[in-house]
Structure 1
C-alpha cells in the first residue's frame, strides 16, 4: 500500500479553497473512490508525490509528455526563454512564427494557424470560424467526443439523427445547444441521413479522429472518409479535434496516419510540451476569415507567449529529429498484448484498444466502437483495478473513459513491470 498521509492532509487543505480540491474534475477520484495523490515532480516516465511514492506514469499530463517529464531540450528552452526573453508582452514575437511554421510543415491540412491558450479555446474558435465562414449555424458532434467545456458542445447524445443536443451541464442555456446535433460515432448511415435532411444548414462536423474521451475508440474503416465526402458534397467544413492525437499518433497527427484531410484542425497538449497552448488552423481561405484579416473575431492576451512557444518548438523539433513513433507503437503493442493476456488469464470480460501510443483496457467484452458500447463498461471493476494498480506503483487515468498514454521514456522493464502489476491486480479482482 502507498503512504498517503501527506497527500490526504494536503487534499483536505485544498478542499477548503478549491471546489472539490481540484482545478479540473479529471483529476478527482470520484469515479474510482478515495482521494487524489498530490504530485511533487515528474522525471522521465515517473511521477513522485509529496509522500515520496514513485509512480510509473501512463497519464503524462493527459497526453502532452510524449517525450517524458522534464526532457532536457524542453526544460532548457523554457529556461532560456524565461531568462533571456520574458514571460509575455502582448506583442508579436519571432517564436510565434517559428512554431507556426513547424505546425504548418507537419500537419497536412494546415496552411495557416492561430495560437491560443488551451484546447477548449481552440475548439471554441474553430466552431465560430466554421459558422462565420459558411454562414450556417448547425454543428454536428458525436456522443463520447469531448471538445472542451464549450457551451455549444457540452451536449448529450440525441436518440436519433434529428435530435437536438440537450445541455449536459447546469449553466448551459438550451439556446446554446439548439443548433448542435449529437450523433453516434462510427455510424455513417445516421450521419448521411442527417445531411440529406439538413445539409444546407450544417456549418461543420467536429470530431476526434481517434476518440480519447470514452476510452480509446478508433474510427471504423471508411468512417473518416465518409465524413470528408459528406462535408465536401454539402459545402460544410470538417474539423478534426486533434488536441489529443496531434503529434501523438504521428508527427502529422491522425490525419497523416489515416490519410484524411480536414478543413480545420484544433491542436493542444503536445504542441505546448506541457505548458498551456492550443491552436487552430486549416485552409488559408478559411483562416483568412479570422480577425484582423476577416470579420470573425478571436483574441487572447497571452496567446503565443514566449515560454509556451519555446516549449512547443523544442518538443516538435525533438519529435521530428528523433522520430520516436515506430518505437512508441511497438512498446504500446507489447503492453497491450500483456494486458490482454493478463485479463484473459483472470477470466475477466474485457477488450483492449490501441492506436499508436494511446490505449485503453475496457472492462467490457465487446469492442468499443461508440459511446453506446462504452456506456456498458464495468466501471466498478475498473475502479478496483485502478486502485490495485496504483498500490503497485502504476499511475493510470482515474476513469474508465480516458485514454492511457505511453511516452518515449517507457522502457521494456517498465512494460514488464506494468504487465506483472496488471496480472496480480486482475487475479485479485477475479478472486474478489
Structure 2
C-alpha cells in the first residue's frame, strides 16, 4: 500500500524489520553502514533497509513502498529496472563480469560522452567519483607542473585525503570539521575559499600566481543541499584560471547528464579544461570518469607519465548500463520532459511555501532540488549551516510516513526521474503542504 494515501496521523510506519537488521549490522560494520549518510545521523532514528526497487518506487524489508527522491544519490534518472538498461546488463553479464582487458563497450560509452559534452575530447573511466576527482587533480598537477589546488567550502569531491577540507555533505551531517587520519601535509597544498566568492579567488591567485594547478568546483554545489552559482561566478572562474595558466575542473559527478545532456557546462556555456563524471554514466553501477582537452589527457599513462590505473576500470557491466542509459537520454525530448516534471514540482512547492508562510525556501535547477528550512539567502556553506536541521528532521520523518523517501540530511540534494508521473508529483506537493501546515 502506498502510504501517502493515508490520512495524516492515522498510521505510523512499521520499520521493525529495519530496526532489527540495523542492530545486527552495527556489530559487523562501523555504524552499521558502508557510507556515513546512510546511518540517518542527520535526521535521528534508525535507517530504513531497502529490499528492492521498481520504476519510481523503493520497497523496504517491512513491505513499505516509497516514491523515491534519492535515486541512489542521482544515477537512476530513468527509474529503477528500466528495460533497456536491465537487458544490457544481463547480456553483458553472460559474456563475463570483468576481464581486466579492453572491450568495445568502453569505446562506445566514451564516444557517447564525448559526443554529448563538447569540452571532452578524451576520457578515462574509473570506478567512483572519488577516483575521478583525485585523478583529474593529479592530471592538472602533472600538466601544469604546479602543486596547489583550490576548492570551495562545502563542496564535496570524494574522500581523497587532499579534498577532505571543509567538504560538506556527510562531513557536515556528522559535524566533523575535517577528518581525523588526514595528515596536515596532505592538505597543505589545498586552498579553500567560500563558494560564490570570486573576489576570494582573485585574492588567492594574486597570493600564489605561479603555484596553483587547478580550481575544482561543483558548478552547482549539491553536497550542501543545492546552492546555485550566482551570476558571473563560474564565468569569473574561467577567466581567472585562464589568465593565470591554471586549469578549471568541473566536478559534474552529480550534474553531468542530469541538468542537461551536456551537464551544467552546457546550461551556462562555459568550457572547463577537465570534467569529472559518475553516477548517471554508469546507469546505477559503480563508475567514474574524467576527461577534457586532448593535450591535457595525453599526460595520462600509458601515453604520458602521469600514472593512474584500476583493475575494474571500464567494467563491462557498468559500461553496458552506461551505454543503454545515455542512448535513452539522447533521444529527442527527454530533458524537456524532465524539466516539465521538475517545474511542476517546483511551482507547486513554491506556492505551498507562499500559502503557508513557512520559514523555508525551495531551490531547484533541472532535475535537482532542495528544501531549506530558513528564509535567509543561501549562497555558500556558511549560509547553509544556518538552516534549521531539527525542522528538516521532522519534515523528513513526516514525508517518510506518507511514503516519500528523501535524503536523510539537510545537506543533500533531491533528484527527479523520468519514471515519476505528474500525478505522483502533484501528490508530493500535497504531502509537503500538509506537513508544513502541521509544523506552523
TM-score by length of 1: 0.96
The change in CA–CA distance for 1:323 and 1:21 in structure 2 (over 3 A counts) is farther
Mapped contact 2:155–2:166 kept (Cα < 8 A): no
Partners of 2:231 and 2:194 lie apart in 1 by 15
1:194 corresponds to 2:204? yes
Structure 1 residues 324-357: Cα deviation after superposition (integer angstroms, max 9, x where no partner) = 2112112112212222222333332111111101
Q: CA RMSD in A?
A: 1.2
Partners of 2:264 and 2:333 lie apart in 1 by 15
1:239 corresponds to 2:249? yes
Q: 145, 152, 164: which one pairs with 1:154?
A: 164
| Aligned position for 1:304 | 314
| Aligned position for 1:160 | none
Structure 1 unaligned segments of length 5 or more: list them: 158-165
| Aligned position for 1:40 | 51
- Count of residues in Structure 1 that have an aligned counterpart in Structure 2: 421
1:82 corresponds to 2:93? yes
| Aligned position for 1:64 | 75
1:254 corresponds to 2:264? yes
Q: 101, 119, 133: which one pairs with 2:129?
A: 119
Structure 2 unaligned segments of length 5 or more: list them: 1-11, 168-175
Partners of 1:412 and 1:400 lie apart in 2 by 25
Structure 1 residues 156-178: Cα deviation after superposition (integer angstroms, max 9, x where no partner) = 28xxxxxxxx9710000000110
| 3-state secondary structure, aligned to 1:321 | coil
Partners of 1:168 and 1:264 lie apart in 2 by 26
| Aligned position for 2:9 | none
Partners of 2:206 and 2:339 lie apart in 1 by 39
1:24 corresponds to 2:35? yes
1:2 corresponds to 2:13? yes
The change in CA–CA distance for 1:151 and 1:323 in structure 2 (over 3 A counts) is farther
TM-superposed deviation, 1:74: 0.5
| Aligned position for 1:263 | 273
Partners of 1:16 and 1:196 lie apart in 2 by 51
TM-score by length of 2: 0.94
| 3-state secondary structure, aligned to 1:271 | helix
| Aligned position for 1:313 | 323
| Aligned position for 1:341 | 351
| Aligned position for 1:413 | 423
Structure 1 residues 194-225: Cα deviation after superposition (integer angstroms, max 9, x where no partner) = 11221211000000001110111111111111
| 3-state secondary structure, aligned to 2:331 | helix
| 3-state secondary structure, aligned to 2:275 | strand
